[in-house]
Chains A and B, each alone.
Chain A
Amino acid sequence: MKEKNRQDNNQEEFLRGTLDMLILKTLTRGALHGYNIAERIEQGADGVLLVEEGALYQALHRLELRGLLDSEWGVSENNRRAKYYRLTAEGRAHLERTARRWERVSEAVSRIMRIA
C-alpha cells in the first residue's frame, strides 16, 4: 500500500515537474493567460501531456506561490478580463536548471534506446 503510494507520488512528481517546465518554457517569450498557455502546450505536445486542463491551473497557482511566476489581470484578445502570467527572474533561473537536467536525462535515455 505504502509502496504503491510512493510510486504514485513519484509519477505524479515527475509529471508535475514536466508540466512546470513546459509552462515556464511557454512563458519565456512574454506574458500569457491560462488559455493561451494551454493552447501552446497542446499544439506542441499533441495532447499527450495534458490529461485535464484543471491541472494546468493548479500548476500555475503553485508556480505563482513559489514565486516563479507573477500574475496580473489584463484584457484578453477578445476583450475579456483575463489573468496573465509572467516569468520572474527566479522562474527563469529555475527553468534553465530544470531544462539542463531534462536534456541530460533525455539524451542519455535516447542513447540507450538507440543502442539497445
Chain B
Amino acid sequence: MGWLHGIRLRLRGFLRRRQLDRDLEDELQFHLKMRALRNREAGMSAEEAMDAARRRFGNPVWWKESIRDMWSLGMLESVLQDLRYAGRSLLKTPGFAAAAILVLALGIGSVTGIFSLLNAVILRGLPFPSPERLVLLWGNVQRQKIERRGNSYPDYLDWKAQSTLFEGMAAYSGDSFNLTGVAEPERLAGEWVSAGYFDLLGVAPIAGRAIAPADDVSGNSNTVALIGEGLWRRRFGSDQAILGKQLQMNGRLFTVIGILPAGFRGLSDGAEVWAPFAASASASDLAERGSRGFPAVAKLKRGVPVRQAQAELDAISKRLEQAYPETNAKRGVEVALLTDELVGGLRTPLYVLLGAVGFVLLIACANVANLLLARSEARRQEIAIRMALGAGRGRIFRQLVTESMLLSLIGSAFGLLLAVWSVQLLGKASPITLPTFVNPTTDWTVAAFAAGVSILVGVFVGFVPAYQAGRQDLYEALKESGARSGDGLARRRFRGALVIAEVALALTLLVGAGLLMRSFQRLSAVHPGFDPNGMLTLTAALPRAPVAPPQPSAAVTSDTGAVVTGRQLLERLRALPAVVSASVASDIPLGPGGGAIFYSAEGQSITDAQTRPRAYVHRITPEFFATVGAQMLSGRSFSETEMEGRANVVVVTDNLTKRFWQGQDPIGKRIKAGDSASKNPWWTIIGVVHEMKYRGLPENPTADPDVFIPFSDRQREVAILIRSSQDPSGLAAAARAAAREVDPSITIYEIATMSERVGRAIERARFAGWMMTIFASLALTLASVGLYGVMAYTVRRQTREIGVRIALGASAGDVVGMVIRRGMALVSVGMGVGLAVALALTRLLHTLLFEVSAVDPLTYLGVAAALGVVALIACYAPARRAARIDPVTALKCE
C-alpha cells in the first residue's frame, strides 16, 4: 500500500503547503550549515566554507524544486487550484452565482425527485427473492373480450399436478377476518393461502412455523393461522405465549402457529392474518369447479420464460375444457408477471414524468449556459490577460468548466435537498396509492444519480461558453474596453439557439400537461350514474351467532333474541342528525365485493357461452336509489313488505332492458338466475334505473348490467350508505359511536365519503396531470426568464445601435416593436420546433389519456397561445428599456 501512503502524505502536504515548504527549506539549510561548520573546522574562512558547502550540495534551488515537485499531487493539484479560483470568482458575483444555483437546483431537484420515485417503484423491485420468476395465474374466460375471472380450487389443483415448469404454485385469496372474543373487536385484513405460499415468496416466520400441507385441509372447524409482526406487537404485546393460543375470527377458532416478519403484508398488500386456503370453505364448496374467484401465485423454474409456461398451461386448460365442458368451456389461464401486476400501471406515468423533468432540466441548463456565456463575455479582458500571461487555451477551458462544474455541484446539493423534501411531502400527501413496499427514500442510487446528473450538467452548461472564451482574439479583447465590445455572430447564434430550444421544450411540456389535464377533466366529468357528493360510505362487520365455547353476552343479542341485523343498525344511523337518507347494501359502489351471476331473460333464446347474459347482483334496501342519487327511469324501488319474505322482485339497470326488451315496457318482464330451465324462481322487474358505474370508473370493467334484489338480514358484512345535508366526512365519528351503541362488537371499517372513492378511482390521472402541470409551469417560468435574460442582454449590447436609431428619429414604438420582433422571431421558431416535437412525443401519452386525442387541436392551440402571451411579456420589459435609452448618453459612453 505504498502508493496510498504516498497520496496520504501528499494530501497532508497539500493542505499544509507552507509548512511543507518551510520544513524543506529548514532541512536543506541545516545540511548546508552543518557542512559549512565542518569546512571551517578544516580551516576555511566563513565565506569559503559556505561556498564549498553549496558546491558540494549542487544547486540548492534546483534540488528544492525537484523535491517540491515530488510532493505535488499532479493533476489533482491543478484541479484543486481551479476549484479555489472558481470559488473566489463566484463569490465576487454572488447574484449571478445565486441565480445559476437556484435554477440548477430546481432542475436537478425535479429530476432527482422523480428518479427517486422511479427507483423505489421500478428499480428496487419487489421485496421477494427472484421476483423475475414470480407470476400470477389468472383463470380467464373468453367472452366478447377475454376477462379475468380467477381460479377454482379443482382447476388450481389440476394445474399444479400437471404442470412441469413451475418450482411451486400456491392459491391465495384476500379476506377480512373479524377478530372477536377480545376486549376490542377488530376487523383484520388477511389471506387464505396454500401451504407453499410463504416458501414461494421467500418469507419465513420469525417465530413458530409456516402452514404445512397437513394444515391445508377443509372440514375442520378448528384450523391454524399465522399473524403479522405488527398485529402481534399491537394486540398481543409481542408475547411469544401467543403461539398455540386460539383466536376467534369470523366465528371460527384459529390456533396461532407462527408470526411473520414486519414488512410482509402478503400479495394483497395489507394482510395481517394468514390461514390455510383449503380451510376457507367446506370440502364440497371447494370441489365446485365452476366456482372461481382467486388468483394463484407461482414461481417459474430457473430459465423458463413466461411464454413457455403460458403454452403449457394453455395445453392443460384445453385438456380440462374437454374433460369438463360444463364448467371449463372457453376457460383459460393467463400467466402474468407479478411485477407487472403490482407496479406495472405506474411505469408509463413515471417514465413520462422522468421525461418531463428531463426537459425542465434541459431548460434550466440552457438558462445557466446563457448566464455563463454573458459572464464569460464580461470577463473577456480578464481572460485575455491571463492568456497573455501564458495560460494555454486548455488551461482557460479547464478553468471555466471547473467553474460551471462547481455551480452544478452546489446546485445539485440543493437539488438533492429539494428532492428529499418533496418526496417526503409526496409520501405524506400521498396523491397516489403506492404498494406498501414502495418506500421512496433517498438511497445511494439516488445520490449517485444526482451526482452523475450534476457532472453532466456542469460539462453541458460550461462547454460552449468555455470553448468560446478560449477562442477569442487576444489583441481585440485587450484593445476593447470591457463592456463595449461588440456581440460576436457565433455568440448571438448560440444565444438564439438556446432561446429556441427553451421555447420548444417548454411548449412540448405544456402540451403534455394540457392533454393530461384535459383527460383528467374528462374523467372527473364522467357521470357515474349516482351522485357522489354528500355521501358517506362504510362497511360494518356484524357479530355472528356465538361459537363454542359460548360466551353469553347481552349485547350480542337484540330484543328478538337473534344477533343484530344490518337493518337494525341502519335504523339507528338514520336517526343521526343531518342524515337525509340511508341504505344498507351488500356492497358499496366502487368498493370491493359484489358477485356476478349468469341469468336468463324470459322468452329469450339461449345464447352461447361468449354472450351468455351475466349480471352483477347487489342486495339493497328500498331507500338505496334515493340515497345514492340514481336516476329511476321507470317503475319503483322495493316496498317494505317486499323486503320481508320472498318477494322475487328485481330492479335492473337500463342496459339489461335495452338488450332484451328494446322499445317495450320492461316493467313486469322476468329474469332468473341460471338457465331458464333451472329451478330458480323468476324475478319480476319492478323498476329500471339508469346505468351506474358501480364497479369502476371511468367505465365498469365489463359491460354487464347491475341488478338489485332485496337485502338479506342474513348478511354479516354490510355496506352502509348515508346521504347527509352537511359535509359527510363529519358524520364518520357519529356513525361509529352509533354503531357501538347498537352493539359494541360491531366493527366499522372502510369509512370514506363517496367523493373520496371517486377520487381514488381516478387518482393516477389526477397525479399525472398535476405533476405534469407543475413541471410544465416550472418549464414555462424558466423559459420565459431565459427569454427575458437574452433579450435584456441583447438590448444592453446594442445600446449604441439603438441610440443611433433613436437619434436618427426612431420613435419609442419603433424601438419597442424592433426588440419584440427580434424576440418573437426566436419564440416562433421555438414554437414551431416545439409543436413538431410535441406531435411526435405525445403519442407516448396515449395510454394515459381518456377521451382526449394525443393531437387534440384545442390543447395545442391553447398552449401555444398561452406561451405566446408569456413570451410577449418577457420581451416587453427589455423593449421598454430599449425605448427609454437616451441617445446622448448612449453615444457618449461609447
Cβ A34 vs Cβ B30 within 8 A: yes
Cβ A54 vs Cβ B6 within 8 A: no
User: Would you give the 0/1 interface string for B236-277, flagging 1 where the beta carbon is closer than 8 Å to chain A?
Assistant: 000000000000000000000000000000000000000000
Cβ A34 vs Cβ B63 within 8 A: no
Residues of B within 8 A of A82 (CB): 27, 30
Cβ B6 vs Cβ A35 within 8 A: no
User: Would you give the 0/1 interface string for A28-47, flagging 1 where the beta carbon is closer than 8 Å to chain B?
Assistant: 00000111001000000000
Chain B nearest CB from A53 CB (Å) reads 5
Smallest CB-CB separation from B61: which chain A residue? A54
Bound Cα distance from A90 to B2, whole angstroms? 9
Q: Is A76's CB within 8 Å of the partner chain B?
A: yes
Cβ A57 vs Cβ B67 within 8 A: yes
Given contacts A58-B66, A62-B70, contact A53 B2 (CB under 8 A): no
Query: Which one of A8-16, A63-71, A95-103, A105-113 is at the interface?
Result: A63-71
User: Would you give the 0/1 interface string for A46-62, flagging 1 where the beta carbon is closer than 8 Å to chain B?
Assistant: 00000111110110011
Q: Is A104's CB within 8 Å of the partner chain B?
A: no
Residues of B within 8 A of A65 (CB): 5-6, 9-10, 70-71
Given contacts A53-B58, A54-B58, A58-B70, contact A35 B35 (CB under 8 A): yes
Chain A nearest CB from B732 CB (Å) reads 73
Given contacts A52-B56, A81-B30, contact A67 B5 (CB under 8 A): yes
Cβ B35 vs Cβ A53 within 8 A: yes
Bound Cα distance from A68 to B5, whole angstroms? 10
Chain B nearest CB from A41 CB (Å) reads 13
Chain B nearest CB from A75 CB (Å) reads 11
Smallest CB-CB separation from B38: which chain A residue? A39
Smallest CB-CB separation from B10: which chain A residue? A65
Count of B residues near A, CB < 8 Å?
Answer: 27
Given contacts A52-B58, A83-B23, contact A58 B67 (CB under 8 A): yes
Residues of A within 8 A of B35 (CB): 35, 53
Q: Which residues of chain B in 371-426 are interfacial with respect to chain A, using CB atoms and an 8 Å cutoff?
A: none
User: Would you give the 0/1 interface string for B6-38, flagging 1 where the beta carbon is closer than 8 Å to chain A?
Assistant: 100110000000000001001110110111010
Q: Is B475's CB within 8 Å of the partner chain A?
A: no
Question: Which among B1, B28, B58, B71 has the highest number of chain A CB atoms within 10 Å?
Answer: B58
Bound Cα distance from A78 to B66, whole angstroms? 29
Q: Which residues of chain B in 625-661 are interfacial with respect to chain A, using CB atoms and an 8 Å cutoff?
A: none
Count of A residues near B, CB < 8 Å?
Answer: 26
Cβ A35 vs Cβ B30 within 8 A: yes
Smallest CB-CB separation from B57: which chain A residue? A53
Q: Is A4's CB within 8 Å of the partner chain B?
A: no
Contact of B59 among A33, A54, A57, A66 (CB under 8 A): A54
Residues of B within 8 A of A34 (CB): 27, 30-31
Cβ B6 vs Cβ A55 within 8 A: no
Cβ A80 vs Cβ B33 within 8 A: yes
Residues of B within 8 A of A81 (CB): 26, 30
Which 8 A-B residue pairings sit nearest by Cβ, starting from the closest?
A: A54-B63, A52-B58, A67-B5, A54-B58, A35-B34, A65-B6, A53-B57, A67-B2
Known: A54-B60, A61-B67, A83-B23. 9 other contacts (CB 8 A): A35-B34, A51-B58, A53-B58, A55-B63, A61-B71, A67-B1, A67-B2, A73-B23, A82-B30
Give 22 pairs: A residue, B residue, CB < 8 Å, sorted on A: A34-B27, A35-B34, A38-B31, A52-B57, A54-B57, A54-B58, A54-B59, A54-B62, A55-B63, A57-B28, A57-B63, A57-B67, A65-B9, A65-B10, A65-B71, A67-B6, A68-B2, A76-B30, A80-B33, A81-B30, A82-B30, A83-B27
